[in-house]
């Protein structure tokens, strides 16, 4: 059997995509709508406070296009905590006016070679910062799931370890050219969801998403072995921005 890459895992992640039933929401009496917004945004503030206390991470975004209206990204130490978060949302009044369009469950993943010899990954500040990240407060987010191809001669999982390592080195060099422009969080989902990885990109200019992904398409690791799911892009919502959106002003 070919050698598997050893990985380090951090927080579990839920990407939660929702559509809003705007016609029903608009006809809700203003007083009831205001109460629902107050209840819901109070909950999102709690999620943000958990991030401040390093209990997890949280981001909220308005999605472009018609695949969804809203995206909430939650990171927590356990899947049970992600389920608790989902349940708390579902019990809100606002949730009655939403429906899920997509979701993705994964876990923050790093290759084990990033660990320094003799250093405990559970206490190393650098690795802990990567495994339990704060979500960047950039203006835009992009998410997509992906696989490594397993077809004919283009089967990633039959390549020798050294060849896979060399291909990923070239792939990483492209990403490093976007340092300071794009922040990337890779999450593993083998055995957790329908794809093998989730990729979440953060930037202040969404054109950087287009340029980075396009450039990587010419890299052999993507050109021969990459399979990509749907792409979602949106902009970050502050509490005030979320309130404004839901109050229909």
Which CATH superfamily includes the segment(s) 7-246?
A: Apc35880; domain 1 (3.30.70.1030)
**pLDDT recorded at residue 96:** 98
Average pLDDT over residues 149-158: 90
Contact criterion met (CB below 8 Å) for 136 and 230: no
**pLDDT recorded at residue 170:** 79
Q: In this model, does residue 50 exceed pLDDT 70?
A: yes
Alpha helices in the chain (DSSP H): 22-27, 30-52, 79-90, 125-131, 161-176, 207-217, 220-223, 239-246
Q: In this model, does residue 157 exceed pLDDT 80?
A: yes
Mean pLDDT of the chain: 93
CA pseudo-torsion sign 78, 79, 80, 84:
positive
Query: Residue 83: CB partners within 8 Å, gap ≥ 6?
Result: none
**pLDDT recorded at residue 10:** 96
Q: In this model, does residue 2 exceed pLDDT 80?
A: no
**pLDDT recorded at residue 52:** 87
Q: In this model, does residue 94 exceed pLDDT 70?
A: yes
Residue 1: pLDDT band (50, 70, 90) is: low
Contact criterion met (CB below 8 Å) for 172 and 135: no
Distance CA 40, CA 50 (A): 16
Check 58, 61, 144, 178 and give the catalytic one: 144
Task: For 109-122, write each residue's pLDDT tens digit.
Answer: 998 656 667 778 88
Q: Look up the pTM and report it.
A: 0.93
Distance CA 95, CA 91 (A): 7
- Which one has a higher pLDDT value, 231 or 154? 231
Q: In this model, does residue 19 exceed pLDDT 90?
A: yes
Average pLDDT over residues 188-197: 97
Distance CA 46, CA 149 (A): 40
**pLDDT recorded at residue 182:** 97
**pLDDT recorded at residue 212:** 95
Average pLDDT over residues 58-65: 98
144 flagged as catalytic: yes
Alpha-carbon Rg for the chain, nearest whole angstrom, is 19
Contact criterion met (CB below 8 Å) for 144 and 231: yes
């Amino acid at each position: 059997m070919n050698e598997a890459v050893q990985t380090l895992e951090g927080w579990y992640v839920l990407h939660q995509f929702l559509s809003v039933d705007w016609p029903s929401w608009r006809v809700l009496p203003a007083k009831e709508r205001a109460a629902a917004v107050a209840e819901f945004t109070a909950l999102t503030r709690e999620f943000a406070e958990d991030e401040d206390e390093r209990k997890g991470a949280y981001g909220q975004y308005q999605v472009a296009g018609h695949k969804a209206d809203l995206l909430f990204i939650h990171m927590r130490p356990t899947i049970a905590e992600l389920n608790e978060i989902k349940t708390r949302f579902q019990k809100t009044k606002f949730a009655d006016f939403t429906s899920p369009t997509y979701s993705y469950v994964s876990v923050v993943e790093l290759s084990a070679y990033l660990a320094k010899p003799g250093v405990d990954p559970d206490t190393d500040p650098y690795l802990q910062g990567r495994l339990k990240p704060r979500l960047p407060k950039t203006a835009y987010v992009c998410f997509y799931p992906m696989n490594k191809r397993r077809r004919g001669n283009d089967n990633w999982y039959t390549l020798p370890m050294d060849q896979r390592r060399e291909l990923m080195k070239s792939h990483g060099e492209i990403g490093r050219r976007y340092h300071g422009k794009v922040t990337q969080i890779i999450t593993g989902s083998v055995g957790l969801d329908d794809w093998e990885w989730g990729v979440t990109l953060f930037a202040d200019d969404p054109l950087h998403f287009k340029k980075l992904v396009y450039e990587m398409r010419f890299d052999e690791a993507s050109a021969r072995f990459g399979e990509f799911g749907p792409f979602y892009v949106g902009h970050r919502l502050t509490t005030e921005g979320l309130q404004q959106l839901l109050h229909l002003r």
